[in-house]
Structure 1
Amino acid sequence: MRLLPEPSVNVAVTATCLLALLHFGRPVLQPIVLALMLSLAVAPLIRALAGAGLSRLNATFATLGLVCAALVAGGMLLGAQLLTLSDDLPQYRSEILVKLRDVQNLAERQPLARFPVDLLGDEPFAPAAPGAERPLQADGTRPIPVEIREHTSAKDTLTKFVAAISGPLGEAGLVFVLLVFILLDSENLRERVLRLTGQRTVSRTLKGLEDAAHGVSRFFFSQFVVNLVFGAVLTVLLWLLGLPHAALLGVLCALLRFVPYIGALIAASGIALFAAASGPGWALAVYAVVIFGVLEVVLANVIEPRVYGHSSGMSPLAVIVSALFWSALWGPVGLLLATPLTLCIVVAGRYIKALEPVSILLAEAPNASEAQRFYHRLLGGEAAAIVQDARAFLRKFTLARYCDQVLLPGVELAVADLRDDSAEPGQQQRVRGTIALVTETLGQRAAPLRSHRRRVSMLNESIGAHLRHAREERLGRWQGSLEVPERSIVLCASLPTVREEFLCELLVVSLREAGIDARSLVLGDLDDDNRPDAEHLVSSVLVVHPVDSAPDAWLEAVGRLRANLPDAPLVAVAPREPAVPQALGQQVDLVLKSFEEALAFVTPAKAGAGTA
C-alpha cells in the first residue's frame, strides 16, 4: 500500500539527504559559507572604491587591507581593555561575593548557598558551622592540611595556550584565505554558476544572484552601521553613568547584537553582572540595565525597522525559526549566519520552483498583491487593517487609483464567495458590511472607523444604496447645497442594480475625495416631479456601464438622461471591462475605462468652473 504519493516521497528523501549533508558536512561547509557571507558583506565597500576610480583588483585589496586594519585595531583596543580589567578582577570578585551574601540573606534558601561556590570555585562563601573544626591528634595537636598541586612549567602553559587558540585561529585563517580567493575570482565563479544552470535560464539566474547578493550586502552593511552606533551611544551613556570599562562593554554589546535575539539578552546580563561588581549597592546595576533596555527598545522598534528591519525581506517569525534551525545544525556559527542564509533561500524561492514554498512561508510579504491582501482581510472582516493600508496608499496616490488597483479587484475576488451557495449568510453580511464601512470611512478622509460600525453592521440594503442614503443623511436630500456656481456639479448615475449602484457611489466617493462636487442619481428616479431646476449646475454626467442589467433598459435611461441634460457631456464609465459593445458606446460622448480616467476627465471642468 502506498502511503504517500511518489512526488512526496521524493521531496522527503531529498530534504533528508540535504539535512544530513548540512549536518555531517559542517566542517567543510562552514568555512565556505562564512567566506561567501563575508564577501557579500564587504561587496558594498569594494563597489564604492571601484566607483571612485580604482580597478577591481586594487579595490579588492584595499578593502581587505581596511578590514584587516580595523580588526587589528579593534583587537588591540579589546586587549588593552582586558588587561586593565584583569587588574581589577580581585575587587570585582569580592564585590560579587558581598552581593551574593545579600541575596542569600534575602532569599534564605538552602539551594542558593551552593550557587556562589559553584560560580566562584572553592572559596568559602558562608562561615563554617560550629564544631566543624578538624579533630585533635594523639599528641593534642591538630593536623596540618596538605594540598597537592601539580607543577606547571612555562613551557606547559605556553603549550596549552597555543593549543587553545590554534583551532579558532586556524579556522579564521582558512576563512580569510577563502575570502581572498572568492573576492578575486568572483566574476569567474558567477560565470560557472550561470553555465551550470543552463543557457535558457541565464537571465533568471543572474537576477536571482543579484537580488540575493544585494539583499545580504544591504543587511550586513545596515546591521554593521546600526550596531556600531548602538555601541558608541551605549559607551557614552555608561561612561556618563560612571561605570568603569565602558568602552569594553560597548564593543562587546555591539558584537553580541549580531547574534539575533539571544545576543541582546547575553549583553544585558553581562552589563548587569559587571555593574553589580563595580561598586557597592544595586543602584549602578539598575541604572545600567535600564539604560541598556531603553536603548535596545528604541533601536529595535524605531530605528531598525526604518533602516533594515522590514527591508530584510523576512518576517519576524522567520528570523526566530531560522535561528533555531541553523543553530541546531551548525551551533554558534549557524546562529550568527541564520538570517543571511535564510534570506538567500527566500530570494532563491522567487526564482526556483522547488524553493517557492519556503519563500512563501518565510518571506515578509508572501508575494500577494495588494488586491489579494484586501480580499483576504475582507473575508476576515478586518476593516481597520484595510483602512490603515488604504490610508498609507492614499499618502502617495488618489482614491481613484486605489479603487482601480486595489478595492475593485479585491471586491471582484470576493464576488464569487458572495454568490456561492455554500457561503454562510453571516459571512456574506460581514463582507458587505466591511465593504460599506471601508468605503464610507475613506470617503470621509480622517473619520474614525468606529463611528459607523454599529450602523453598517445592521446593513439591510445594497451597499450602493446604503452609501447614498448615508450621504443624504449627512448632506441633505440633494447631497449638498444647490447654491453653487454653474457647471460645478458632476452627476454620477447608474441603474438600480447592486453592482452598478455600488460602482456609482464608489465613483462619487473617489471624486469627492479629490475635491470635486460629485453627486449620485439613480436612473429610475428621473421622473421625480419634486427634483429642482438645477440642470445649469451640472458640468458633466458619468453613467456606469451596465453588466448585470439589460442593455435596452440602460439605453432607454441614457436617452432620457440626455434629453433632460442636453448641454452636459454624457460619459460612460466601464471600470475593469475589456470592451464595451459598439451599440452602447454610440449612445454616449466618451467611454472611460477606469476611475482615474474619470477623475482626469472632470478635473479640467472643475478648474474651468472655478475661473468662470
Structure 2
Amino acid sequence: MASDWQRALIALSATVVGTVVVAVLYWARSIFVPITMAVFLAFVLAPVVGRLQRRGLGRTAAVIAAVGLVVFGSFGIGAVIVQQVSQLADTLPDRREAIKEKVATAKSWIVGDGSGSRFGQLVDDINSVIAPPPAKQERVVVESAPSFGGRVDNYLGPAAEFAGQAAFTFILTVYMLLRREDLRNRLIRLLGAGKVTTTTKAVDDASQRISKYLLSQLMVNSAFGVVIALGLFALGVPYSVLWGFIATLMRYVPYIGTWVGLIPPVLFSFATAPPWGGGWGQPAAVLVLFLGLEAFCNNVVEPRLYGQSMGLSEVAQLVSAAFWAFLWGPIGLILSGPLTVCLLVLGRHVSRFDFFVVLLGDEPALEPRVAFYQRLAARDQDEAAEVAVEEAGRTSPEEALDTVIIPALGLARRDCEAGDLEAADLKFVANAAREVATEVIDLRGPSPVGPDPTRERVRVLLSPARDETEHVAAELLALTLDPARWEVKLAGDETLASELVDRVAEFRPAVIVIAAMPPGGLSHARYLLARLRQRFPHVKLLVGRWGGGDDVPEPREDTIKNTDGVDRTLAGTRKRLAELHPILLAPEGKAFAERTNKKERVGTGGA
C-alpha cells in the first residue's frame, strides 16, 4: 500500500504534468488546432471514403474526391459569408435611426418614458450616476497615416496565417485518410501492451463509433443551418446565409450554442423589422423558428440518428467548452463537443484511459452500495435512503437489500476494523441501515396479516456471529421471510456460545442460520457450528456470508465444516430455506426433528 509521501509525489507529478500539457496546448495552438481539425475531418470523411471505395473508386481517388468536395464547399461558403459580413458592416450604420427608434420603443415599454413613470425616472437617475455625461473638453486629434508596409502587414498577416493553417489541415487530412491503417496499427502498438486482438477490436469499434457520431452530428447541424437560412429568407430577414452559418457552428457548443446562435438574427430582425405585426412580427417569427426547429432536432432527429444520449455529463460538456474556448478561442469552443466525445469513447474502449469515463461520463461515479455507505458515513441518512429506494425501484426491494444495504454494512465493518471508522460511526451506520432497509422492504406492498393458526410453521433461529452489523443483516432476513411459513426468532449479537446453545434447546428450531458477514468471521462461525452440531446433530445449520460481492475472495463451501449450506446473498438463503421447508414439514422430517428435540430435552434435564 502506498505511503503518504508516495501519494503526495504522485499527486505532485500529476499536477506538474497536467500544467505542462495545458501550457503546451495553449502556446502551440497554431499547431494543435490544424491537427485537431484534420483528425476531426478524417473521422467525418472516413465513412464517405469507404462508401466511394465500395462503388469502385480507388483509395487515392476517393480521398481526393471527398477532401476536394470539402475544400470547394468551404471556399464557396466562406466567400458568401465574407460577402454578407462586408455588406452587413456597410449597411448597418445606415439603419441607425431605425435602430434608435426601436430601442427607445422597447425602453418605453419596459421602464416607461421617464416622465410619467417613477420606475423610468429611477432608471434614468441610476444611469446618470453610473455613466455621467462627460465634460466638454477640447480634444486635438493627431492622425498619422500608416505606411504601406504596415497596412499590408495588418491585412495579409492574419490572412496568410489562416490560409497556411487551412492548407496544412486539408493536406494532413488527405494523408491521414490515405494512411489510415498504418496510423491505426501504430496506435495499437502504443496502446496494445501485448493484447493485440483486444486492442484492435477496441480501436476499430471506437473509431467507427466516433466516425458515425461526428458524421451524423455534422449532417444534423448542417441541415439545421440550411433550414434556418431558408426560413429566415422566407421571412424576409436579410443575410440569411450568414445567420444560418452561425447557427450551424454554434450548434456544436453544448446546451447553450443554439440559444447564443439565435441572438444575432433576432437582434438584427428587431432592429430592422418591417412594420407588419407592429414591428414585432418578424422577430417573434424568427424566435419561433429557432425554438421549433431545436425542439424537433432534439426530440425526433437526433434520437433516431445516434440515440438519446452519448453518455456525456452535462457539467463535463460545459466545463469542456469553457476549457477549450480558453485554450483555442472560438475554434476551441466549436470543437469542444467532438473532442469530449472522442475522449469519452477512448476511455470506454482503452483501459488505461478509463479515467475519462469517470470525468466525462454521465454514469454514476460510485456504485450504489458505495454511494449508500458513503452517505451513511457522512451521517446523511436522507440521501442514503434516496440511493437505496432508487435502486429498489430500478430492480426490486429484495435485490436492493443484497446489492446496496448488506454490502454497505460489510464496508462499514471493514473500515472499522482498519481504524478508518469510529465505533460510534459504525453504530450509526448499522442503525441507519436498519431504518432504511425497513423503508425499502415496505415498498413490496402490504405485508401478510400474520401467521395462520391452522397452518404449521417451521421454526428458524437467526444468530449473528459477532457484532451489530450481522445482527442488522439477520433482522433483514427475518423481515423478508413469510411469517405464515416461518416462526423466526433472533439471537442478540452479544450472545455467548453457551447462551446460544441454551437458546436453541429452549426454542427447538428446525433450522439455524448463522450470519457471518465478510471480511473475517469464519473462525467464530466454525466454532459456533462445531458446538451446535455436537449438541444438535440433526438441526439444519446454514451460514450466511452476505454482502461480500464478487471482489471479496471466499473460501470453498467444503472448507466450512458442520454446515448444510453457505450462501452469499439473502436471496440465496431464502431459496435454500424454501427448498428445506417441505422436507421439514413432511412426516419423516417432523418425526426426525421431534426425536432430536426429545433427546436434547432429556440431555438437558440430566445435566
TM range (shorter): 0.5 to 0.7
Per-residue deviation at 1:393? 4.5
Aligned to 2:463: 495
Aligned to 1:469: none
**2:239 corresponds to 1:269:** no
Q: Could you say what secondary structure the match of 1:494 adopts?
A: strand
Q: Could you say what secondary structure the match of 1:495 adopts?
A: strand
Q: Could you say what secondary structure the match of 2:169 adopts?
A: helix
Unaligned runs of 5+ in 1: 116-149, 151-158, 448-473
Per-residue deviation at 1:607? 12
Q: Within 2, Cα distance between the matches of 1:365 and 1:606? A: 42
Cα-to-partner distance string for 1:10-48 (whole Å, 9 max, x where unaligned):
666655554443333322222111111222234455567
Per-residue deviation at 1:186? 0.8
Per-residue deviation at 1:276? 1.2
**2:205 corresponds to 1:193:** no
Q: Within 2, Cα distance between the matches of 1:607 and 1:34? A: 71
Would the alpha carbon gap of residues 501 and 272 (structure 1) be closer, same or farther in structure 2, given more than 3 Å must change? same
Map 1:96-175 → 2, pairs under 5 A: 96-102=99-105, 103=107, 108=124, 168=162, 171-175=165-169
Please give the root-mean-square deviation of Cα atoms over the aligned residues, in Å. Answer: 5.9
Would the alpha carbon gap of residues 554 and 97 (structure 1) be closer, same or farther in structure 2, given more than 3 Å must change? same
Per-residue deviation at 1:168? 4.3
Per-residue deviation at 1:371? 3.4
Question: What is the TM-score when the length of structure 1 is the normalising length?
Answer: 0.62
Identity of aligned residues (%): 25
Task: Give the conservation status (yes or no) of the 8 Å contact 1:500–1:544.
Answer: no
Q: Within 2, Cα distance between the matches of 1:528 and 1:53? A: 88
**2:45 corresponds to 1:37:** no
Task: Give the conservation status (yes or no) of the 8 Å contact 1:400–1:511.
Answer: no
Question: Larger deviation: 40-49 or 328-337?
Answer: 40-49
Aligned pair count? 521
Question: What is the TM-score when the length of structure 2 is the normalising length?
Answer: 0.63
Map 1:450-461 → 2, pairs under 5 A: none
Aligned to 2:411: 413
Task: Give the conservation status (yes or no) of the 8 Å contact 1:544–1:573.
Answer: yes
Aligned to 1:504: 474
Task: Give the conservation status (yes or no) of the 8 Å contact 2:250–2:334.
Answer: no
Query: Could you tell me which of 1, 23, 37 is aligned with 2:26?
Result: 23
Aligned to 2:430: 432
**2:545 corresponds to 1:574:** yes
Q: Within 2, Cα distance between the matches of 1:418 and 1:305? A: 47
Aligned to 1:522: 490
Aligned to 1:444: 442
Unaligned runs of 5+ in 2: 115-122, 132-144, 146-152, 492-499, 584-607
Q: Within 1, Cα distance between the matches of 2:27 and 2:154? A: 29
Aligned to 1:482: 451
Per-residue deviation at 1:443? 1.3
Cα-to-partner distance string for 1:590-611 (whole Å, 9 max, x where unaligned):
4333345446556789999xxx
Q: Within 2, Cα distance between the matches of 1:559 and 1:69? A: 90
Q: Could you say what secondary structure the match of 2:554 adopts?
A: coil
Q: Within 1, Cα distance between the matches of 2:43 and 2:579? A: 52
Per-residue deviation at 1:209? 4.4
**2:191 corresponds to 1:220:** no
Cα-to-partner distance string for 1:508-552 (whole Å, 9 max, x where unaligned):
55677xx997774326666778x9xxx9xxxx9582454475545
Aligned to 1:134: none
Cα-to-partner distance string for 1:316-368 (whole Å, 9 max, x where unaligned):
44333333333232222222223443555566678999978777555545864
Cα-to-partner distance string for 1:277-313 (whole Å, 9 max, x where unaligned):
2145574446755775798699889998996786344
Aligned to 1:380: 378
Q: Which amino acid aligns with 1:521?
A: K
Task: Give the conservation status (yes or no) of the 8 Å contact 2:529–2:541.
Answer: no
Would the alpha carbon gap of residues 59 and 586 (structure 1) be closer, same or farther in structure 2, given more than 3 Å must change? farther
Task: Give the conservation status (yes or no) of the 8 Å contact 1:260–1:336.
Answer: no
Task: Give the conservation status (yes or no) of the 8 Å contact 2:461–2:504.
Answer: no
Q: Which amino acid aligns with 1:272?
A: V
Query: Could you tell me which of 178, 181, 186 is aligned with 2:175?
Result: 181
Would the alpha carbon gap of residues 394 and 166 (structure 1) be closer, same or farther in structure 2, given more than 3 Å must change? same
Would the alpha carbon gap of residues 444 and 79 (structure 1) be closer, same or farther in structure 2, given more than 3 Å must change? farther
Task: Give the conservation status (yes or no) of the 8 Å contact 2:252–2:335.
Answer: no
Question: Larger deviation: 163-172 or 374-383?
Answer: 163-172
Aligned to 2:590: none
Q: Which amino acid aligns with 2:31?
A: V
Question: Larger deviation: 159-168 or 379-388?
Answer: 159-168
Cα-to-partner distance string for 1:164-209 (whole Å, 9 max, x where unaligned):
8676455434322322221121111122334456864656765774
Query: Could you tell me which of 567, 572, 575 is aligned with 1:592?
Result: 567
Task: Give the conservation status (yes or no) of the 8 Å contact 1:327–1:334.
Answer: yes
Q: Within 1, Cα distance between the matches of 2:220 and 2:47? A: 16
Q: Could you say what secondary structure the match of 2:443 adopts?
A: coil
Map 1:205-216 → 2, pairs under 5 A: 206=200, 209-210=203-204, 213=207, 216=210
Q: Could you say what secondary structure the match of 2:329 adopts?
A: helix
Would the alpha carbon gap of residues 27 and 187 (structure 1) be closer, same or farther in structure 2, given more than 3 Å must change? same
Task: Give the conservation status (yes or no) of the 8 Å contact 1:574–1:592.
Answer: yes
Would the alpha carbon gap of residues 76 and 424 (structure 1) be closer, same or farther in structure 2, given more than 3 Å must change? same
Q: Could you say what secondary structure the match of 1:374 adopts?
A: helix
Would the alpha carbon gap of residues 545 and 165 (structure 1) be closer, same or farther in structure 2, given more than 3 Å must change? same
Q: Within 2, Cα distance between the matches of 1:511 and 1:183? A: 64
Cα-to-partner distance string for 1:74-108 (whole Å, 9 max, x where unaligned):
77997999899999968965532311333385564
Q: Within 2, Cα distance between the matches of 1:190 and 1:310? A: 27
Q: Within 2, Cα distance between the matches of 1:57 and 1:73? A: 24
Would the alpha carbon gap of residues 9 and 372 (structure 1) be closer, same or farther in structure 2, given more than 3 Å must change? closer
Task: Give the conservation status (yes or no) of the 8 Å contact 2:373–2:384.
Answer: no
Q: Which amino acid aligns with 2:450?
A: S
Q: Within 2, Cα distance between the matches of 1:83 and 1:19? A: 36
Q: Which amino acid aligns with 2:176?
A: I
Aligned to 1:311: 310
Would the alpha carbon gap of residues 6 and 188 (structure 1) be closer, same or farther in structure 2, given more than 3 Å must change? same
Q: Within 2, Cα distance between the matches of 1:61 and 1:517? A: 77
Q: Which amino acid aligns with 2:34?
A: P
Per-residue deviation at 1:258? 1.1
Q: Within 2, Cα distance between the matches of 1:559 and 1:243? A: 96
Q: Within 1, Cα distance between the matches of 2:439 and 2:204? A: 42
Aligned to 1:139: none
Q: Within 2, Cα distance between the matches of 1:322 and 1:527? A: 68
Query: Could you tell me which of 249, 252, 255 is aligned with 2:246?
Result: 252
Task: Give the conservation status (yes or no) of the 8 Å contact 2:321–2:332.
Answer: yes
Q: Within 2, Cα distance between the matches of 1:572 and 1:45? A: 62
Would the alpha carbon gap of residues 54 and 294 (structure 1) be closer, same or farther in structure 2, given more than 3 Å must change? same
Task: Give the conservation status (yes or no) of the 8 Å contact 2:47–2:211.
Answer: yes
